[in-house]
């Protein structure tokens, strides 16, 4: 029987500040049904006058949101979280830009959020903190006297020790992370990488419980949304044009230039396909104050222009490139219209788009998923055509195979993946994590050591 009171979610964004991203779409669906509190940033950049917690309700969920000052947000979010942790955790040390000011700002926002949350808490709350913005949150809470059981889930990959050791202040961050009672990761590889790093760097510290909890989707709900009459009909219903769809935040981890180059290779090698297929790439802008994201936008529009200039004509556009966020009722039927879902990140914690694409397919006539083997989802979706996103020839070959796959094979692959989606759905993820967190005794040893902050 349930022993805890509310589930308290702490995340950088609340549903009030939703962007296209796995965390918000994954958690909101799962937690509206639970008596719960969701605490985080409200999306506003202004000075906090000390009395800024805004409260509102969303079904059984109460949202408590605070603003952040522009400087604090810049250092914490653009500077350290997305200028250091995001690239490094995705093995892009070349894009890491560290500064002491940003790191201090990151710690300061974590400390501030802990202080703002404290008066909202009840004794029997179970606190569940999300993602790399909040690695040191538990340490900050413990030092402020917050004793409730507290777990953490990392939505992105955890880097292997040889890469992680290059992150400035990683030892302090590990100490802070070890103040959580339970650390959850998307895959077993991520979990092992964390434990191995702690063993190497912090042999004296007690590592809390860890587990692999691959996040899922709600396949039946997505299927129902995908079955609805399409708001937009992208391709002729007679399949005279075979659609390939890609949907990603405009992020350098998603492998977009590599994908465009692979598609250009397919066009070059197979002129007989001209006029018969079309790639639609939907990529909402993301983190536009971080220089690497601006560079990516320029690179992609350049590549898209090259493809259109070289292969497009008046009757046929080989590529449609849209930098927009779409509503889910628009997006789900688009997945279903496509013959191929192309999901080829260079590295990704899970990648919910891959699961959404499968959930949206017509069981009687499903499309084919082409999936990077470096997405967490590749550990589960064995019915996909797995590719190395760094190899344009292999990707072009997989697209060709997907476009011409016989019906029986498409159905067999889809059924395997559908079974996985159902066996590992978002509700199971939430319940399993919270059950494990609740089962742990919060012991004195889990309290934070006196390091950063």
| 350 versus 448: smaller Cβ distance to ligand ADP | 350
Beta strand 54-58 pairing with 61-68: antiparallel
| DSSP H or E segment with residue 200 | helix 188-201
Residue span 112-151 as binding mask against ligand F6P, x where in contact by CB under 6 A, dash where not: -------------------x--------------------
Instruction: List the single partner that 287 binds among ligand F6P, ligand ADP, none, CB under 5 to 8 Å by kind.
Output: ligand F6P
Q: How far apart are CA 220 and CA 55, in angstroms?
A: 31
Task: Pick one of 6, 90, 111, 287: the residue that binds ligand F6P (CB under 6 A).
Answer: 287
Query: Residue 434 interacts with ligand ADP (CB under 6 A)?
Result: no
Q: For residue 237, give the DSSP letter.
A: T
Q: How far apart are CA 333 and CA 222, in angstroms?
A: 9
Given a contact cutoff of 8 angstroms between Cβ atoms, the answer to whether 306 and 265 are in contact is: no
Task: Pick one of 146, 282, 307, 358: the residue that binds ligand ADP (CB under 6 A).
Answer: 282
Q: How far apart are CA 279 and CA 235, in angstroms?
A: 11
DSSP 371-407: EETTBGGGGT-TTSEEE-TT-HHHHHHHHHHHHT--H
Shortest separation between residue 133's beta carbon and ligand F6P, angstroms = 7
| 6 versus 287: smaller Cβ distance to ligand F6P | 287
Q: How far apart are CA 372 and CA 344, in angstroms?
A: 4
Burial class (CB in 10 A: 0-12, 13-18, 19+), 205: middle
Contact region with ligand F6P (CB under 6 A), list: 15-23, 113-121, 209-217, 378-386: 15-23
Kindly give the residue spans of alpha helices, DSSP state H, lying in 50-187.
70-73, 86-89, 100-117, 137-143, 161-164, 170-177
Task: Pick one of 42, 223, 325, 380: the residue that binds ligand ADP (CB under 6 A).
Answer: 325
Size of the site for ligand F6P (CB under 6 A): 12
Query: Residue 155 interacts with ligand F6P (CB under 6 A)?
Result: yes
Query: Residue 90 interacts with ligand F6P (CB under 6 A)?
Result: no
Query: Residue 22 interacts with ligand F6P (CB under 6 A)?
Result: yes
The reply to whether 390 belongs to the active site is: no
Catalytic site residue from 131, 190, 348, 425: 348
Task: Report 241-280 residues binding ligand ADP (CB under 6 A).
Answer: 247-249
Shortest separation between residue 429's beta carbon and ligand F6P, angstroms = 14
Looking up tokens 């969701």 gives 38
Shortest separation between residue 223's beta carbon and ligand F6P, angstroms = 23
Q: How far apart are CA 356 and CA 254, in angstroms?
A: 16
Query: Residue 156 interacts with ligand F6P (CB under 6 A)?
Result: yes
Query: Residue 284 interacts with ligand ADP (CB under 6 A)?
Result: yes
Q: Which residues contact 426 (CB under 8 A, 6 or more apart)?
A: 26, 29, 30, 215, 216, 217, 218
Catalytic site residue from 102, 155, 218, 425: 155
Query: Residue 413 interacts with ligand ADP (CB under 6 A)?
Result: no
Given a contact cutoff of 8 angstroms between Cβ atoms, the answer to whether 8 and 121 are in contact is: yes
Contact region with ligand F6P (CB under 6 A), list: 16-24, 164-172, 259-267, 386-394: 16-24
Query: Residue 350 interacts with ligand ADP (CB under 6 A)?
Result: yes
Instruction: List the single partner that 325 binds among ligand ADP, ligand F6P, none, CB under 5 to 8 Å by kind.
Output: ligand ADP
Pair of tokens at residue 429: 């993820």
Query: Residue 345 interacts with ligand F6P (CB under 6 A)?
Result: no
The reply to whether 155 belongs to the active site is: yes
Query: Residue 286 interacts with ligand F6P (CB under 6 A)?
Result: yes
| 6 versus 13: smaller Cβ distance to ligand ADP | 13
Q: Taking every pair of C-alpha atoms in the chain, what is the biggest distance, in angstroms?
A: 70
Q: Which long-range contacts (CB under 8 A, 24 or more apart) does 54-58 make?
A: 54/16, 56/16, 58/15, 58/28, 58/32
Q: Applying CB under 6 A, which residues contact ligand F6P? A: 13, 19, 21-24, 131, 155-156, 249, 286-287
* Residues engaged in binding ligand ADP (CB under 6 A): 20-22, 25, 247-249, 282, 284, 325-326, 331, 350-353, 356
What residues are labeled active site?
155, 348
């Amino acid at each position: 029987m349930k022993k805890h009171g509310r589930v308290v979610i702490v995340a950088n964004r609340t549903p009030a500040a939703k962007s296209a991203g796995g965390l918000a779409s994954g958690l909101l669906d799962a937690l509206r049904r639970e008596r719960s509190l969701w605490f985080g940033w409200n999306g506003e950049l202004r000075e906090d006058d000390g009395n800024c917690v805004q409260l509102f309700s969303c079904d059984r969920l109460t949202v408590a949101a605070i603003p952040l000052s522009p400087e604090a947000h810049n250092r914490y979010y653009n500077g350290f979280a997305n200028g250091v942790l995001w690239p490094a955790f995705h093995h892009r040390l070349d894009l890491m830009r560290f500064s002491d000011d940003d790191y201090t700002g990151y710690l300061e926002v974590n400390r501030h959020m802990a202080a703002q949350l404290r008066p909202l808490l009840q004794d029997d709350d179970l606190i569940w903190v999300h993602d790399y913005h909040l690695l040191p949150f538990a340490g900050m809470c413990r030092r402020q006297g917050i004793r409730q059981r507290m777990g953490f889930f990392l939505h992105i990959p955890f880097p292997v020790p040889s890469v992680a050791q290059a992150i400035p202040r990683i030892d302090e961050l590990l100490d802070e992370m070890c103040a959580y009672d339970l650390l959850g990761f998307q895959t077993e590889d991520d979990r092992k990488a964390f434990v191995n790093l702690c063993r190497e760097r912090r042999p004296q510290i007690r590592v809390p419980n860890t587990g692999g909890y691959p996040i899922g989707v709600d396949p039946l709900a997505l299927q129902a949304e995908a079955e609805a009459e399409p708001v937009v009909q992208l391709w002729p219903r007679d399949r005279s044009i075979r659609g390939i769809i890609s949907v990603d935040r405009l992020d350098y981890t998603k492998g977009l230039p590599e994908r465009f180059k692979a598609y250009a290779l397919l066009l070059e090698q197979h002129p007989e396909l001209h006029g018969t297929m079309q790639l639609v790439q939907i990529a909402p802008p993301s983190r536009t104050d971080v220089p690497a994201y601006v560079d990516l936008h320029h690179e992609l529009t350049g590549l898209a222009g090259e493809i259109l200039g070289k292969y497009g004509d008046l009757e046929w556009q080989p590529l449609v490139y849209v930098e927009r966020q779409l509503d889910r009722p628009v997006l789900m039927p688009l997945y279903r219209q496509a013959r191929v879902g192309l999901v080829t990140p260079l590295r990704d914690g899970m990648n919910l788009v891959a699961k959404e694409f499968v959930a949206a397919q017509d069981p009687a006539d499903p499309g084919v998923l082409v999936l990077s083997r470096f997405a967490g989802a590749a550990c589960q979706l064995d019915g996909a055509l797995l590719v190395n996103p760094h190899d344009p020839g292999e990707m072009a070959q997989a697209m060709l195979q997907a476009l011409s796959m016989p019906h029986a094979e498409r159905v067999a692959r889809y059924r395997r993946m559908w079974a996985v989606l159902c066996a590992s759905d978002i509700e199971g993820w939430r319940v399993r994590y919270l059950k494990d967190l609740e089962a742990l005794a919060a012991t004195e040893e889990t309290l934070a050591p006196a390091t950063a902050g």
